[in-house]
Chains A and B, each alone.
Chain A
Amino acid sequence: MGRKLLLANIDVPGIRGFDAYRAHGGYAAVEKALRGMSVSEVSAEVNRSGLRGRGGAGFPTGLKWSFLDRKSDKPRYLVCNADESEPGTFKDRYLMHHLPHLLIEGLIISSYALGVNTCYIYIRGEFKYIVGILERAIREAHQHGFLGENILGTGFSLNIYVHPGAGAYICGEETALLESLEGKRGNPRIKPPFPAFKGLYGCPTVVNNVETLATVVPIINMGGDEYARIGRGKSTGTKLISASGNINNPGVFEIEMGLPVEDFIYAPEYCGGIANEKYLKAVIPGGSSVPILPADLMLNTAKGEKRLMTYESLADGDFVSGTMLGSGGFIVYDEDQCIVRNTLNLTHFYRHESCGQCSPCREGTSWMEKVLYRLEHGEGKMSDIDLLVRVAKNIEGNTICPLGDAAAWPVASAIRHFRGEFEYHVKHPEVVKNVHHGALKIEKESLIPDSGTGVNYW
C-alpha cells in the first residue's frame, strides 16, 4: 500500500463536515501557512515539492504561480478548475464530494501565496449536487474564521464563490472557462495574452485543477522537500487515478507516483485485475485524450523496461510507443472490446464538444466521426483508414486550443496500434454489422502480458 496524502481520511465518518475534518488535522496547514510563513515561503514549498498540474498538462505549479503578474495594480484571481469532463476522469468529483474541506483548505493557502482575495470554483454543470456540498463547506469555514475578513487575525481576507457551468467539456480549457465565468460563450481565447497577465475580467489570474490545489495542503503540512521524496524523478508525490473499464475494482485510487502499471492493474488494492477472467487488450491511461496503448506496450516500454505510473515513463517512446499520464483517467479494455467502436465513441464526444471556433477542429472532428461511423457499421473502405490518419494529422497542432489535439490523438493512436482491427472492419462488413464486441478475436498469446514480476495476478 502506498502512502495516502489526499485520501487518508476518506473513510472517517462525517469527514465531509467541518468538525470531523478539523478533528483529523484539518486546517492545520492553513494555520501553519498564514500564521508562520510568509507569502514567498509558501510558494517556495510548493516549488520544492515539484508538484505538477493535475488537470492534464502536468505543468509545474510553482512555476505557473511565479508567472502571475504581481506588478499589476488590478485585483488578482485564483480560479479552481472543477469542470472535470474528460471521459474516464472522475477524481475531482470524488474529492469534492467526500473531502470538500480539503479543497477549501488548499484554496485558502494558495490564495494566500498568490495574494488573491477572491477565488472562484468553476464547477461542471452536471455536478449540481456537489455545489451544495461545497457551499456548505464554505459556510462552515466562514463560521470558524477560516474564510472572510481577517482570517485568523492575520489580516488576510478571502472569499470563495462556486460557479456552476452549463456542462461543456470545452469550458474546462482554462481560457474558455474564464470566458464562461465572465458570462460569455465558452470559446477558448487566443493566446497570448496568457491568464497570468490577462485572465478573469482582464486581471492576472491563476487557473489550477482541483487535485492540484488540494495537494497544496499535504505539501504545507509535510514540507515541500518531504513531499518530493515520494514518487520518482520529476513525478513527485501521489496522484489520484480514476480507474474504469473492464476491471474488478473500478474507482478512484491514490497511488504513489512510480507504481508499475502492471501492479496498478492487477494488484487487489487497486484495479484488482481484469473482470470476468478476460485478458487485457488495451489501456487509455490518462483520460480519453491521451493515446491508447495495447497491453504489451502498456506494461512494458518499447525498450523493454517496466512501465511506471509517472509522467515520464508513460510518455516513454513519445507517440510512437508511448502515451501520457494526462488527468489520470485510466480506462481498461478487455479482449472483447472493439477498438473501432471505442474510437468512434470518443470521436463522437469530441465532435459534440468542439466549440466550433476554428476550422480544423470544427470540420475535422465531424469528418472523422462520419468516417469512423461507416467503418464501424461495415460500410467503410480501405482508404478510409489512411483518410483518418490524414485528417487527424491536419487537425493536430493547427488549432486554437488543445481540444483539436485531444480529438486527433485517440484516432491516430488507435490506428497506429490496431490497424488490423480497422482493416478487419472493412473486410468483414457482415460480421461487424451484427457484432459490436470482440468481432476480431486477437490471438490470446499476444494478449497475455508477461507479468515479469513472477506474481501471477490473474
Chain B
Amino acid sequence: MIKVTIDNIPVEVEDGTTILQAARQIGGKVVPPAMCYYSKLKGSGGKCRTCLVKVAQGSAKDPRPMPKLVASCSTPVQDGMVVQNLTSPEVREARKAIVEFLLLNHPLDCPVCDQAGECDLQDLSFGYGMEETTTDFERREYPVIDIGDKIKLHMNRCILCYRCVYFADQLTDKRMHGVLFRGDVSEISTFVQNAVTNEFSGNVIDVCPVGALTDKTFRFKSRVWFLKPMNAHRECSICSGKVAAWMFGNEIYRITARKDEFGEVEEFICNECRFEKKELTDWVIEGPRHIKRQSVISANHYEERKEQSIIDPIAGTMTEVE
C-alpha cells in the first residue's frame, strides 16, 4: 500500500493507482473534475486537462515538487506524494483557464440542449469558470448530424474528450465513427455519413460529458430536472436490463444507464432497452435513484432528503451539507 496526501487528507491506496482514483477514494471536494477520463474505458484521460493538480512533493524518496501541474487521471501516485487540488491557487487558476478554453467555441445553447441539467461542462463552468465570456470571435460551427437513426451529434458542443471513440473501439464490435481532421477543426464524425448501428452504440450518449451526443427518442421531450430517475429493470437477453427510467407521472420519457457518483455508467445497456422500451409495462420499477452528484436535478428535491445544496465559497462548487 502507498500513502498519499491530497488537500491535506491522507489516504492509503494500492500501487499503480492514479491521483484521481486516490482522490475518489477520499471523495467529496478533494476529487478533481474529470471530463475525459472514464475508468471503464482503457486509455481514456489526459486530454481535457480539467483534472490538473499540483504535486507539491513527488514522493518520500524524492520530495521535490513536480515542475508542472499534472493530469491527475493519468499520473500514478508515489509513496509519500503530496498533492494539492483545491488548496492550490495555481490549480484553481489553471482550471479556470481550462474552462475558458472549453467554452471558447461552445455554443452556450443550454436552453435548447437536452443535456442541460446533467451536463458535466455546465457543472464545471458553474464551479470554476468565469462569469463573463472572454472571446468576441465567432464560434466554430458544424452542422448537426444523425449518426444512426437514434443518435444526434451536435459537434458544436463536443469537447473532444474521445470517450465515445474509446467506447466504440472497446465495447462494440465495429467502430463506425472517430475523430476526423486535427487541431481546432477536428470533429467527431462517421466516415461518409455511415450509420452507427451496433446494438450497444447508444451508450455513447451516456459517456458523452456534454450534449454533443443525445438521444433522438428523447429530443426536446422534457428538461431533465422535471423528470424523476427511477431504478428499473427487465429481463433482457442482450444486457443486464438494469437501467434508470426517467419518469414524469406514470410516463417513461427516456431510459439511460445507471451512473455512479462520479458520473460514470455502472453497467452499459443495450439499444433495445434504451430506445425501444418506453412503456411502463416493459419495466419493473424499483424506486427512486439517489442523486449524490452536484446537479440541478438534485436541486429539484424530488426525493425526500435532509441535505441541501450550498455553494462552497472556495471552490464555487455545489456541495451537500446536512
User: Which residues does A use to contact B, with CB under 8 Å?
Assistant: 168, 170, 185, 190, 192, 351-360, 362-367, 370, 387, 394, 397-400
Contacts and interface: CB of A to CB of B under 8 A. Distances in A.
A358 B73 CA distance: 14
Given A367-B135, A398-B49, 9 more contacts: A356-B183, A358-B46, A359-B47, A359-B48, A359-B160, A360-B49, A362-B186, A370-B137, A394-B98
Contacts of B183: 351-356, 362, 365-366
B262 to A, nearest CB: 20
A363 B98 CA distance: 10
Contacts of B97: 360, 394, 398
A357 B135 CA distance: 21
Nearest to A370: B137
A193 to B, nearest CB: 10
B98 A398 contact: yes
B88 to A, nearest CB: 14
A360 B184 contact: no
B182 A394 contact: no
A257 B74 CA distance: 39
Contacts of B104: 363, 367
A203 to B, nearest CB: 18
Contact of B182 (A355, A367, A397, A399): A355
Contacts of B100: 394
A358 to B, nearest CB: 5
Contacts of A362: 101, 160, 183-184, 186
- Enumerate the 10 nearest inter-chain pairs by beta-carbon distance, A residue then B residue, closest first: A190-B46, A394-B97, A356-B186, A366-B184, A354-B183, A363-B101, A397-B68, A356-B183, A359-B101, A363-B104
21 contacts: A168-B182, A185-B178, A185-B179, A190-B71, A190-B74, A192-B76, A352-B183, A353-B182, A355-B186, A356-B160, A359-B47, A359-B49, A359-B50, A359-B102, A362-B184, A363-B102, A367-B135, A394-B94, A397-B68, A398-B49, A398-B52
Which residue among B67, B76, B182 has the maximum number of chain A CB atoms within 10 Å of its CB? B182
B26 interface: no
A284 B322 CA distance: 60
Interface string B160-199: 1010000000000000001101111110000000000000
Contacts of A356: 160, 179, 181-186
A12 B285 CA distance: 85
B191 to A, nearest CB: 13
Nearest to A190: B46
A362 to B, nearest CB: 5
B159 interface: yes
Nearest to B48: A359
B69 interface: yes
B209 interface: no
B105 interface: yes
Contacts of A190: 45-46, 71, 74
Nearest to B103: A363
Nearest to B73: A190
A359 B48 CA distance: 5
A344 to B, nearest CB: 15
A198 to B, nearest CB: 12
Contacts of A394: 94, 97-98, 100-101
A189 to B, nearest CB: 9
Nearest to B105: A363
A168 B181 CA distance: 11
Contacts of B71: 190, 400
